[in-house]
């Protein structure tokens, strides 16, 4: 361990004490008591023999393979799996349906057991690679899961095939909508993408009758294995976390619904060990379901967020991510948002199901879709991809009067925009100025979702204020008004305002 790494762990320990965190950093774990663990031994191999330095864990303790690929770990008898962090250059092992299978069950009936893994090299160099983050498929019925399989999955397949390097998919949680029998349908759907898929557990993927949080993911584990883990692709270290805490039933046969965003002490301690093996400064991408902090509460004018819309102990996560070039990618909120005030760039991704399969857009106007990330060396770029539309589909324009609060201004919803984008408008070919970014309601979402009797399927869906709206004064004397939106990577998207377009639906680029 480098001196700078030791210094960081000391600072982290002090920060944990200062913040009252339920854990602190420790360079060496305490030796387990005899009989309190299962001795797991095994070997990690490739086509040419043992692989050295591969992290292996039970989710509590992490070790690394020796020069011959062998390992030994004192696993907790309460942990269901032993699993590895797949190294760069190797395929993520998968089930026959394409979901990741880098784990083996721990047989805790005796004092020892074995678990070995054989990895296959990737066919391509993974210094260039890509992934699709698919937030909230959230199918409640077989018909909705069929839509995910026949509409979303082929779109993902075709998009990712066109990119350079090996690709994978991420199911960003809420794979289903409470009916866990639909997990098998989700597996069939992601198999159709042709990609290896890793999964994140969401709040609608739980056994709600469980008496405590660990039991709430029992069915999820049967299908997808551990709730938190890591792997490498090229220069990037990827981490999947379980940030959905379920308090369980109340002991009187009644279920509760007050889940919250939280990373438990065991998981944070595991993450500390995992990241101690990663070189400082490396790109690090963390996948969660609940975002560290959704700002929807602020856009609604509320004083504080609900515990279900944030990771309540997110400062502990930020402290662990501080030495890295980190991004946190999540879903859950059914909208698109970027936030970087706390350090890591936080991506909240619009959902595959839109507003719960009620219409073609989320309740902030973001089309149903997913995010596509491309990695070249240590550089990461991204773009939101609308299902069934070209990748250039990045905004929708509304004529003056579409927003009753600004009747003399026309409006653009640029759903993947962040503070690094520029959005300008031209009148008759002359650049007129930058459009003003503001918070408001997307007009199409008002039309589709506003009111107690809309939409028909889920009347509780309502339009929500978003910060990726832009407006500018409408000039009735201009014959042609064009909007150009340029993202942080220099890609420019254009759309032309149709003043005769319906104020309810606008026009898309």
Looking up tokens 């042709």 gives 194
Looking up tokens 């031209």 gives 426
Each residue of 166-190: pLDDT tens digit?
999 999 999 999 999 999 999 999 9
DSSP string spanning 77-122? TT--EEEE-BPTTBPPPB-TTSBB--EEE--TTSSEEE--EE--B-
Beta-sheet strands, E only, within 221-301? 229-233, 236-240, 244-245, 260-261, 283-287
Q: Which helix or strand (DSSP H or E) is residue 64 part of?
A: strand 62-64
Residue 163's φ and ψ, nearest 5 degrees, are -95, 160
- Is 8's pLDDT higher than 80? no
- Is 19's pLDDT higher than 90? no
Read off the pLDDT band of 163 (50, 70, 90).
very high
Q: Which helix or strand (DSSP H or E) is residue 222 part of?
A: helix 218-224
- Is 423's pLDDT higher than 60? yes
Query: What confidence score (pLDDT) does residue 258 get?
Result: 80
CB 353 within 8 A of CB 363: no
Read off the pLDDT band of 211 (50, 70, 90).
confident
Query: What confidence score (pLDDT) does residue 341 get?
Result: 79
Each residue of 27-45: pLDDT tens digit?
344 555 555 789 999 999 9
Query: What confidence score (pLDDT) does residue 25 get?
Result: 38
- Is 471's pLDDT higher than 50? yes
Read off the pLDDT band of 256 (50, 70, 90).
low
Locate the domains of the chain by residue range.
33-118, 128-386, 396-508
- Is 449's pLDDT higher than 70? yes
Q: pTM score, two decimals?
A: 0.92
**With pLDDT > 70 as the criterion, what percentage of the chain qualifies?**
91
How far is it, in rounded angstroms, from Cα 432 to Cα 438?
Answer: 19
How far is it, in rounded angstroms, from Cα 60 to Cα 68?
Answer: 24
> Taking residues 93-109, what's their average pLDDT?
94
- Is 431's pLDDT higher than 50? yes
- Is 218's pLDDT higher than 80? yes
> Taking residues 382-399, what's their average pLDDT?
98
Q: Which is higher by pLDDT, 214 or 371?
A: 371
**Assigned CATH for 33-118:** 2.60.40.10
Query: What confidence score (pLDDT) does residue 33 get?
Result: 55
How far is it, in rounded angstroms, from Cα 379 to Cα 283?
Answer: 8
CB 378 within 8 A of CB 325: yes
How far is it, in rounded angstroms, from Cα 8 to Cα 276?
Answer: 10
Query: What confidence score (pLDDT) does residue 15 get?
Result: 36
Omega prior to 455 cis, within 30 of 0: yes
Looking up tokens 């490396």 gives 282
Each residue of 260-282: pLDDT tens digit?
999 999 999 999 999 999 999 99
CB 450 within 8 A of CB 384: no
**With pLDDT > 90 as the criterion, what percentage of the chain qualifies?**
85
How far is it, in rounded angstroms, from Cα 384 to Cα 417?
Answer: 10
Strand partners, 495: 483
> Taking residues 464-478, what's their average pLDDT?
97
Query: What confidence score (pLDDT) does residue 274 get?
Result: 98
Burial class (CB in 10 A: 0-12, 13-18, 19+), 377: exposed
Looking up tokens 């762990």 gives 9
- Look over the chain and give the mean of its residue pLDDT values, rounded to a whole number: 92
Each residue of 348-375: pLDDT tens digit?
999 999 999 999 999 999 999 999 999 9
Read off the pLDDT band of 248 (50, 70, 90).
confident
Topology of domain 128-386 in CATH is Purple Acid Phosphatase; chain A, domain 2 (3.60.21)
Query: What confidence score (pLDDT) does residue 5 get?
Result: 40
How far is it, in rounded angstroms, from Cα 278 to Cα 282?
Answer: 7
Each residue of 298-318: pLDDT tens digit?
999 999 999 999 999 999 999
């Amino acid at each position: 361990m480098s001196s700078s790494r030791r210094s960081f762990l000391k600072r982290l320990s002090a920060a944990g004490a200062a913040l009252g965190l339920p854990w602190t950093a420790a360079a060496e774990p305490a030796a387990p008591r005899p009989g309190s663990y299962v001795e797991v031994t095994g070997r990690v191999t490739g086509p040419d023999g043992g692989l050295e330095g591969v992290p292996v864990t039970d989710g509590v303790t992490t070790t690394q393979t020796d020069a011959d690929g062998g390992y030994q770990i004192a696993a907790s008898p309460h942990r269901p799996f032993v699993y590895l962090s797949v190294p760069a250059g190797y395929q993520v092992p998968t089930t026959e349906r394409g979901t990741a299978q880098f784990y083996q069950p721990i047989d805790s009936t005796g004092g020892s057991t074995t678990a070995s893994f054989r990895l296959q090299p990737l066919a391509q160099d993974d210094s260039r690679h890509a992934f699709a983050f698919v937030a909230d498929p959230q199918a409640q019925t077989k018909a909705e899961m069929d839509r995910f399989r026949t509409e979303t999955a082929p779109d993902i397949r075709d998009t990712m095939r066109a990119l350079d390097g090996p690709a994978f998919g991420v199911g960003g949680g809420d794979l289903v909508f409470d009916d866990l029998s639909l997990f098998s349908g989700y597996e069939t759907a992601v198999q159709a993408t042709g990609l290896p898929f890793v999964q994140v557990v969401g709040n609608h993927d739980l056994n709600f009758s469980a008496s405590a949080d660990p039991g709430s993911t029992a069915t999820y584990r049967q299908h997808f294995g551990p709730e938190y883990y890591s792997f490498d692709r090229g220069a990037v270290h990827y981490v999947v976390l379980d940030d959905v805490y379920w308090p369980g039933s109340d002991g009187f046969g009644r279920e509760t619904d007050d889940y919250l965003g939280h990373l438990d002490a065991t998981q944070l301690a595991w993450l500390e060990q995992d990241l101690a093996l990663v070189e400082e400064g490396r790109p690090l991408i963390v996948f969660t379901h609940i975002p560290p902090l959704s700002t929807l509460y602020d856009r609604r004018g509320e004083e504080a967020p609900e515990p279900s819309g944030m990771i309540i102990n997110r400062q502990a996560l930020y402290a662990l991510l501080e030495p890295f070039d980190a991004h946190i990618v999540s879903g859950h909120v059914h909208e698109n948002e970027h936030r970087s005030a706390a350090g890591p760039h936080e991506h909240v991704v619009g959902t595959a199901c839109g507003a719960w399969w009620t219409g073609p857009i989320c309740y902030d106007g973001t089309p149903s879709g997913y995010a596509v990330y491309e990695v070249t060396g240590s550089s990461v770029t991204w773009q939101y991809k609308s299902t069934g539309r070209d990748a250039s589909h990045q905004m929708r324009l509304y004529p003056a009067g579409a927003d009753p609060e600004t009747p003399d201004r026309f409006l653009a919803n640029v759903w993947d925009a962040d503070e690094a984008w520029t959005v300008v408008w031209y009148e008759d070919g002359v650049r007129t100025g930058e459009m003003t970014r503001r918070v408001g309601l997307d007009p199409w979402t008002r039309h589709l979702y506003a009111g107690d009797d809309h939409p028909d399927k889920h009347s509780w869906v309502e339009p929500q204020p978003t910060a990726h709206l832009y407006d500018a004064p409408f000039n009735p004397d201009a014959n042609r008004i064009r909007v150009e939106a340029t993202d942080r990577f220099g890609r420019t998207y254009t759309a032309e305002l149709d003043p005769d377009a319906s104020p309810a639906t606008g026009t898309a680029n």
